[in-house]
Amino acid sequence: MITLRPADLAREHDISTQAVRNYEQDGFIPPAARTPTGYRIYTEAHAAALRTYLALIPAYGHSSAGQIMTALHNNQLDVALTVIDHGHNQLLRDRETLTSVRRAIDHLTTESDAASERPADTGARTIGELAHRLRVTPATVRTWESAGILTPARDPVTGYRIFDATDLRDAELTHLLRRGGYLLDHISTVVQQIRTAGGTDALSASMTDWQQKLTTRGLAMLTASTHLSNYLNVLNHAESQQDRGRTS
Residue 113: predicted pLDDT: 46
Q: What is the pLDDT confidence band of residue 123, given thresholds at 50, 70 and 90?
A: low
∠213-69-53 over CA atoms, to 5°?
45
Query: Would you say the pTM of this structure is higher than 0.85?
Result: no
The per-residue pLDDT for range 187-222, each reduced to its tens digit, is 888 788 777 776 666 666 677 888 898 999 999 999
Say yes or no to pLDDT of 97 above 60. Answer: yes
Residue 244: predicted pLDDT: 64
CA 209 to chain centre: 15
Of 113-122, 162-171, 197-206, which one has max mean pLDDT? Answer: 162-171
The per-residue pLDDT for range 29-71, each reduced to its tens digit, is 999 999 999 899 999 999 999 999 999 999 999 999 999 999 9
Length of the chain (residues): 248
77 contact partners, CB below 8 Å, separation of at least 6: 71, 232
